[in-house]
Structure 1
Amino acid sequence: MSRTSSAHPDPTAALRGGLPDRYLTPEDIAAMFGVPLETVYQWRKKRTGPPGFRIGRHVRYDPVDVRAYVDALRTADAEVA
């Protein structure tokens, strides 16, 4: 049994339709959007990226909130085009 596929599912799966059954880390968000980790931290600081929350000193992202953020971006982009 492979631990890599079940222990750490592909973070881009959330954007392809299948939401992970765990909260996402900043590293997951960076991998999903193909941006540097520092960009994710800047988004959080400026409140321009997907909404995150703290669990102690750790930041986590709910996959449902990330999906809603992406959907909102798509809607805004379609209205501009």
Structure 2
Amino acid sequence: MTQTAPAIPRFYFCHEVAAELRRTEAAVRWLWQSGALKSRVVGGRRVSTAEDLAAFFAEAK
């Protein structure tokens, strides 16, 4: 019987989110603080997932 490992989500750190959104890191931190972009703390660092970015783009219309 072969078991497959669960998929690990891709995490984006502040500078990576800024590059994806073409915004400054300060703007990303503001989006996180305001709740406009979902994030979580992993290992003491705030991150967003690819799903969070996709939802942010979907809501942007």
Asked whether the two chains share a fold, i.e. TM above 0.5, the reply is: yes
**Amino acid corresponding to residue 43 of structure 2 in structure 1:** G
Partner of 2:13: 25
Runs of 4+ displaced beyond 4 Å: none
Quote the residue 1:39 is aligned against: 27
Distance in 2 (alpha carbons) for counterparts of 1:34 and 1:40: 10
Q: Please list, as runs of the form range in 1=range in 2, the aligned pairs for 1:1-80 lying within 5 A after superposition.
A: 22-48=10-36, 50-74=37-61
Q: Deviations over 1:24-63 (max 9, x none)?
A: 1111110011111011111111222x20100131011110
Q: What is the distance in 2 between the residues matched to 1:28 and 1:39?
A: 12
RMSD after superposition: 1.4
Question: What is the TM-score with the length of structure 2 in the denominator?
Answer: 0.74
TM-score by length of 1: 0.58
- Relative contact order higher in (CA < 8 Å, ≥ 6 apart): 2
Give percent identity, aligned residues only: 13
Q: Name the one with the larger helix percent.
A: 1
Instruction: Name whichever structure is richer in strand by fraction.
Output: 2
SS in 2 for 1:60: strand
Q: Secondary structure at the match of 1:51?
A: coil
